[in-house]
């Protein structure tokens, strides 16, 4: 990178690139490249000034060395680069906003009165058209209210009031369109692919390559629980695909050779080889945008009720205006009432508050797929946790490999890693990482690998059936046996560790002991959640009772259940919901997916299984569970703000109507105060949520009753 350091302090550098201009694409590319670096804490790239403000941790020299090696060509190969950015969208609407304000100012300062009148008449045409459409469709909405108020002002030759009303309405519409498009793009990007590397079949065998290197025509292998990385058709294999994130259908769809599959959907059962048609998966992005724009399912009930209430209040505004005219015979007073409506503020401020909360959550590495899930988090009284990778560290360690039946420790670890590398989960990652540390090369020498959810993995090696998984899977489901004379060794397995069991040909071949330490912050996080109104904290795990009870005692949950299957987790959550609880589920594995779907809001850990992230409604980073506390705080503050906005809009606009009916304020003043209050409450909704006061706790049912 050819750049100059303009300013520097501890952990912060401000750079200026030595180039005359930077395109929006380059700014996005550089920002994505920097954000992918482990030492980056925060970064902002300003394309207009070619400046970069970077907050970092660690060694200054390491950061400078990396920056010196930066090149545009290498950065383009980064798998973390997003195909879409809101930078261009923001630039477009910033220019539109500035243009409207400048045009209004120039018109008021420099245009002669006759020209200003013509300009007002020209601008009112779209408003009148929308009002006439309401009449034709026999509906009474805010468009009709706007058309009447503007038309009456023009008929009274009050062109200044009409022009100001239209200007404020256009600014409001622009802000609404801007925030709507930005929220859709932000949400679609959150729901887009989160795949860095994929398995590609080549003449030399299966190789793991970055997603950016996948080209149309490549044969990509996808196994159970994996995200389909690109649009394509199935060459080999039969499977079922969960397409809920794309089409909304909840039942997995069977796929056969020749069937089309789409980027971002999840392969639930089976295995397939697909021929890539579109490598970037950008078609999925467009499909998601269309789905979000056409669907109301992600709106919170508070947003929907506010919008419905706004439309219902329009006829009362009309009635108040007519009644005022009948009683006073004063058109000015009637117009003062007509200039005020509740719709603008209610319809704009509520979605803006939700979008702002989602944006704030995003800054804390929390991805939320819709406003209704924030509402669910605010109303929740119960949180159910998975154990492994959630309450415990997502990177457990292999501490011991105990071979049986004359097998060697090295060969058993090699075989286990060969099988586990296809199914990214914290326990599987631990096995693969230990093999890597020991320098063991585990080339593919098994046949088709089959993943059995919450049980284990099955394959065939040298004609013998090889299994790896839980004790329940190995001994109860598959009826494997312990080699003769080694029962005592088996009984004396270290009790403080979690165990993975490997069997070959129906006999136990090895037990892999894995250390699964509790997250340092887990106990404090659960205590903090209690102070924020969570009354039930529950742990569910497929691990043994011994391991589960140890973790439960350390972390301080109210209840725990061990040796549960995925269906059991989902059934347990369904029972809690039927009992009147609002339930959040936090998990990271394939076996957590049914429970994540069943909960009022499913929360996945970002480095967990692909299907868990895809099905979950909310995703948090794996670094710290404190993000759950931040999520709860944001959701509570959001609901407090929405209810505050609601009270302000009703109270302020009601006061304006009363003052107008009394003849205290003119129509122009009424319109100005109404529109300025709408902008004010919208700007407040877009601001960051307060952190210095304790939010109001909401119990299930309060939210729906508030409106």
Q: How far apart are CA 113 and CA 641, in angstroms?
A: 43
Q: Tell whether 617 and 553 lie within a shared domain.
A: yes
Distance between CA atoms of residues 674 and 666, nearest Å: 12
> Does a structural domain hold residue 339?
yes
Q: Looking at residue 274, which CATH number applies to its domain?
A: 2.70.150.10
User: What's the pLDDT score for residue 285?
Assistant: 52
Cα–Cα distance, 562 to 544 (Å, whole number): 6
Phi, psi of 191 (to 5 degrees): -90, -5
Is 88 a member of any domain? Answer: no
Give the DSSP letter string of 32-49. HHHHTSTTEEEEEEETTT
> What is the total count of domains within the chain?
5
DSSP 542: S
Question: Is the same domain home to 135 and 210?
Answer: no
Domain that holds residue 35: 3-81
Cα 512 to Cα 483: distance, rounded to the nearest angstrom:
16
CB neighbour list of residue 704: distance below 8 Å, 6 or more residues apart: 301
- Measured CA to CA, the distance from residue 435 to residue 409 in angstroms comes to 11
Spans in the chain with pLDDT lower than 50: 79-81, 248, 281, 294-297, 693-707
CA atoms within 13 A on the CB side of 180: 13
176 lies in the same domain as 201:
no
pTM reported for the whole predicted model? 0.65
User: Which of the listed residues 622, 648, 665 is the one where a domain comes to its end?
Assistant: 622
- Residues 80-95 as b/e (b if ≥16 CB within 10 A, e otherwise) read ebeebbbeebeeebee
Give 577-634 as a DSSP string: HHTT--EEEEE-SGGGHHHHHHSSEEEEETTS-HHHHHH-SEEE-SS-THHHHHHHHH
pLDDT of residue 197: 73
Closest CA to 509 of 555, 474, 547: 474
Beta-bridge partners for 166: none
Q: Which DSSP state fits 301?
A: H
What does the alpha-carbon distance between residue 369 and residue 274 come to, in Å, rounded to a whole number?
28
Stated as kind and residue range, the H or E segment containing 536 is strand 536-540
Q: Are residues 386 and 525 in the same domain?
A: yes
Residues 337 and 349 in one domain: yes
C-alpha span between 329 and 359 (Å, rounded)? 50
User: Is 227 inside a domain boundary?
Assistant: yes
Contact indicator for 226, 237 with CB cutoff of 8 Å:
no
Q: At what angle do helices 159-191 and 667-686 cross, to 10 degrees?
A: 20
Looking at residue 212, what DSSP letter applies? G
Sheet with 456-461: strands ordered across? 397-403, 507-515, 498-504, 464-469, 456-461, 450-452
Give the pLDDT confidence of 598-610 residue by residue, as tens digits: 888 889 887 666 6
Angle, to 10 degrees, between the axis of helix 371-379 and the axis of helix 343-363?
Answer: 80
> What's the pLDDT score for residue 368?
81
Which pLDDT score, from 0 to 100, does residue 3 have? Answer: 86
Q: What is the pLDDT of residue 550?
A: 81
User: Has residue 361 been placed in a domain?
Assistant: no
307 and 169, same domain (yes or no): yes
Quote the CA–CA distance of 252 and 233 in Å, as a whole number.
17
- Does 285 fall in a domain? no
Residues 419, 498 within the same domain: yes
Residue among 641, 651, 616, 653 at smallest CA distance from 703: 641
Residues 181 and 308 in one domain: yes
322-341 per-position pLDDT tens digit: 777 777 776 767 766 666 66
Of the candidates 214, 272, 190, which has an alpha carbon nearest to the alpha carbon of residue 239?
272
Residue 642 lies in a domain: yes
> How many C-beta atoms surround the C-beta of residue 285 within 10 A?
21
CA distance 482 to 226: 33
Domain limit, last residue, from 15, 50, 81? 81
- Assess contact for 90 and 84: CB atoms under 8 A: no
Contact 687, 353 (CB under 8 A): no
- Helices then strands (H, E): number in the chain? 25, 25
290 in any annotated domain: no
Residue 182's CB is within 10 A of a number of other CB atoms, namely: 16
Same domain? 544 vs 616: yes
CA angle 29, 34, 38 (to 5 degrees): 145
Name the β-bridge partners of 468.
457, 502
Query: How many whole angstroms separate alpha carbon 363 and alpha carbon 690?
Result: 15
CATH code of 375's domain? 3.40.50.1000
What is the DSSP secondary-structure string of 462-498? Answer: TTEEEEEE-HIIIIIIS--BPPTT-HHHHHTS-TTSE
With left for phi above 0 and alpha for psi between -120 and 50, is residue 537 left, alpha or beta? beta
Q: Compute the distance between CA of residue 47 and CA of residue 244 in angstroms, rounded to an integer.
A: 38
Nearest CA-CA partner of 166 in 392, 378, 339: 339
Contact 455, 473 (CB under 8 A): yes
CB atoms near residue 463 (< 10 Å): 7
Helical axes 113-136 vs 142-155, angle rounded to 10°: 140
Instruction: Give the total residue count for the chain.
Output: 707
Spatial distance between the Cα atoms of 409 and 406, rounded to a whole number of angstroms: 10
Average per-residue pLDDT for the chain: 79
What is the SS3 string spanning 250-294? CCCEEECCCCEECCCCEEEEEEEEEEEEECCCHHHHHHHHHHHHH
Note whether 486 and 553 are same-domain residues.
Answer: no
Q: How many other C-beta atoms can be found within 10 angstroms of the C-beta atom of residue 189?
A: 19
Q: How many CB atoms lie within 10 A of CB 594?
A: 24
CATH code of the domain in which 26 resides = 3.30.70
**Domain shared by 334 and 378, yes or no:** no
- Nearest residue to 145 (alpha-carbon basis) of 695, 688, 653, 692: 653
Same domain as 511, residue 554: no
Contact 536, 545 (CB under 8 A): no
Asked which of 467, 493, 515 is the last residue of a domain, the reply is 515
């Amino acid at each position: 990178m050819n750049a100059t350091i303009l300013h520097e302090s501890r952990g912060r550098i401000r750079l200026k690139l030595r180039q005359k201009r930077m395109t929006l694409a380059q700014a996005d590319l550089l920002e994505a490249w920097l954000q992918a670096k482990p030492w980056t804490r925060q970064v902002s790239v300003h394309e207009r000034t070619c400046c970069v403000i970077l907050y970092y941790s660690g060694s200054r020299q390491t950061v400078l060395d990396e920056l010196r090696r930066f090149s545009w060509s290498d950065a383009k190969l980064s798998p973390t680069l997003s195909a879409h950015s809101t930078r261009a969208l923001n630039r477009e609407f910033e220019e539109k906003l500035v243009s409207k304000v400048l045009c209004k100012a120039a018109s008021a300062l420099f245009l002669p009165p006759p020209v200003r009148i013509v300009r007002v008449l020209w601008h009112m045409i779209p408003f009148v058209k929308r009002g006439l459409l309401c009449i034709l469709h026999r509906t009474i909405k805010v468009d009709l209210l706007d058309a009447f108020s503007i038309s009456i002002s023009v008929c009274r030759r009050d062109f200044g009031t009409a022009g100001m009303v239209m200007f404020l309405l256009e600014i409001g519409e622009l802000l609404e369109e801007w925030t709507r498009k930005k929220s859709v793009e932000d949400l679609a990007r959150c729901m887009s692919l989160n795949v860095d590397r994929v398995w590609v079949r080549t003449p030399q065998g299966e190789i793991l390559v970055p997603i950016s290197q996948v080209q149309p025509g490549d044969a990509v292998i996808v196994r159970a629980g994996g995200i389909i990385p690109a649009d394509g058709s199935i060459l080999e294999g039969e499977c079922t695909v969960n397409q809920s994130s794309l089409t909304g259908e909840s039942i997995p769809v069977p796929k056969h050779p020749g069937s089309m599959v789409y980027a971002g959907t999840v392969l639930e059962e089976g295995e397939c080889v697909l021929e890539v048609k579109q490598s970037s998966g950008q078609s999925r992005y467009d499909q998601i945008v269309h789905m979000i724009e056409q669907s109301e399912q992600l709106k919170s009930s508070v947003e929907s009720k506010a919008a419905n209430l706004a439309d219902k209040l329009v006829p009362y505004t009309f009635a108040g205006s007519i009644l005022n005219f009948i009683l006073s015979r004063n058109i000015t007073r009637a117009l003062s009432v007509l200039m005020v409506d509740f719709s603008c503020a209610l319809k704009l401020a509520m979605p803006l508050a939700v979008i702002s909360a989602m944006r704030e959550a995003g800054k804390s590495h929390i991805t939320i797929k819709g406003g209704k899930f924030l509402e669910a988090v605010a109303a929740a009284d119960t949180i159910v946790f998975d154990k492994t990778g959630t309450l415990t560290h997502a990177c457990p360690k292999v501490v011991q490999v105990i071979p049986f039946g004359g097998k060697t420790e090295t060969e058993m670890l090699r075989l286990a890693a060969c099988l586990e590398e296809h199914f990214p989960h914290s326990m599987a990652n631990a096995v693969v990482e230990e093999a890597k540390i020991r320098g063991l090369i585990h080339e593919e020498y098994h046949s088709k690998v089959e993943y059995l959810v919450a049980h284990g993995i099955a394959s065939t090696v040298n004609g013998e059936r090889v299994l790896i998984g839980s004790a329940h899977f190995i001994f109860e489901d598959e009826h494997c046996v312990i080699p003769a004379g080694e029962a005592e060794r088996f009984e004396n397995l270290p009790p403080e560790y979690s165990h993975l069991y490997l069997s070959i040909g129906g006999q136990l071949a090895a037990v892999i002991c894995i250390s699964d330490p509790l997250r340092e912050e887990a106990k404090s996080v659960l205590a903090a959640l209690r102070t924020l109104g969570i009354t039930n904290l529950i742990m569910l795990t497929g691990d043994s009772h011994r391991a589960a009870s140890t973790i439960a005692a350390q972390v301080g949950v109210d209840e725990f259940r061990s040796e549960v299957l995925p269906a059991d987790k989902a059934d347990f959550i369904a029972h809690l919901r039927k009992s009147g609880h609002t339930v959040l589920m936090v998990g990271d594995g394939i076996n957590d997916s049914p429970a994540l779907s069943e909960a009022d809001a499913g929360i996945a850990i970002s480095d967990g299984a692909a299907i868990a992230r895809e099905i979950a409604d909310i995703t948090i980073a794996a670094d710290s569970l404190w993000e759950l506390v931040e999520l709860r705080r944001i959701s509570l503050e959001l609901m407090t703000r929405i209810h505050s906005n609601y009270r302000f809009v009703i109270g302020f606009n009601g006061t304006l109507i009363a003052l107008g009916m009394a003849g205290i304020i003119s129509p122009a003043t009424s319109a100005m105060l109404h529109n300025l209050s709408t902008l004010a409450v919208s700007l407040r909704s877009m601001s960051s949520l307060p952190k210095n006061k304790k939010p109001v706790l909401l119990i299930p049912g309060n939210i729906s009753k508030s409106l």
